Amino acid sequence: MGRLNGKVFVLSAAGQGIGRAVALMAAREGAKVIATDINGETLKELNGVEGIETRVLDVANKEAVEQFAKSIPHIDILFNCAGYVHDGTLLDCDEKTWDFSFNVNVKSLYYMCSQFVPKFIEQVTGGSVVNMASVVSSIKAKQSRCVYAATKAAVIGLTKSMALDFVGHKIRFNSVCPGAVDTPSLRGRAAARGDPEKTLEEFKSRQRLGRLADADEIAYLVIYLASDESSFVTGQEFIIDGGSSM
């Protein structure tokens, strides 16, 4: 028997990286996974996987989120994974970039949770919401991650606030705070700096364990927080960073 048998598991950013690893692991654990992403091409690679249904969704689009939520009659687990990393200091971040970062990383949670929390409440059975933050947030700084860190600190604050407000409805909210994880976007950021191998070595050296995380290592934590194994856990931020914040 899987750890998520029969649970309806909705997630964003399932097209690649951590989201994809979580979608596949949740399906293996017996969940009925509704895997969404803004990118229909990468999402297609999940088509045909047993237990996974795919839907194109831009979580920063309010109307799209509303339409999507209407089509989901029951939900047990919501994993808000979508995020955008801006590489730069405050002085590199124009207003458009600031707003885009907050829209994708924070406002999307407001849209998704505003739609799904009332469903959890109506269902009475409660549920688990896992939000993707980062160790680069209120936990620690990293050079050239100004607006990104601000958005992920907001995710941690929003998660704690919702956890307290809805604790009486048996809805648990937790956030996950990874260090550097080997995903397509991380490799893309390394490539953009001109010397990808050197940049990847720099990323690795910041993790005290001396390597990047594999997406599955983050997925194990998300599955734990999604499952009833964590039934006494709410309002927390979980650092999973290879010791980079020690």
Question: Of 30 and 110, which has the nearer Cβ to ligand NAD?
Answer: 110
Question: Should residue 85 be labelled a site residue for ligand NAD when binding is judged by CB under 6 A?
Answer: yes
Q: How far apart are the first and last CA of the chain?
A: 37
Question: Should residue 16 be labelled a site residue for ligand NAD when binding is judged by CB under 6 A?
Answer: yes
50 in Cβ contact with 35 (< 8 Å): no
> How many angstroms separate the CA atoms of 237 and 196, rounded?
31
Of the residues 11, 15, 111, 238, which one makes contact with ligand NAD according to CB under 6 A: 15
Question: Should residue 132 be labelled a site residue for ligand NAD when binding is judged by CB under 6 A?
Answer: yes
> 187 to 246, contacts with ligand NAD by CB under 6 A?
none
Question: Should residue 109 be labelled a site residue for ligand NAD when binding is judged by CB under 6 A?
Answer: no
> How many angstroms separate the CA atoms of 30 and 20, rounded?
16
> How many angstroms separate the CA atoms of 40 and 204, rounded?
31
Question: Of 51 and 179, which has the nearer Cβ to ligand NAD?
Answer: 179
Q: How far is the CB of 172 from ligand NAD (least distance, A)?
A: 20
* Burial bucket for residue 64 (CB in 10 Å: 0-12, 13-18, 19+): middle
Cite the active site residues.
148
> How many angstroms separate the CA atoms of 1 and 30, rounded?
8
The one-character DSSP state at 127 is E
Question: Should residue 159 be labelled a site residue for ligand NAD when binding is judged by CB under 6 A?
Answer: no
Question: Should residue 58 be labelled a site residue for ligand NAD when binding is judged by CB under 6 A?
Answer: yes
Query: Does residue 171 sit in helix, strand or coil?
Result: strand
Identify how many contiguous H helices and E strands the chain contains and give both numbers.
Answer: 9, 7
Question: Should residue 134 be labelled a site residue for ligand NAD when binding is judged by CB under 6 A?
Answer: yes
Q: Which stretch binds ligand NAD (CB under 6 A): 45-53, 79-87, 109-117, 222-230?
A: 79-87
Residues that bind ligand NAD (CB under 6 A): 12-13, 15-19, 37-39, 42, 57-60, 81-85, 104, 132, 134, 178, 180-181, 183-186
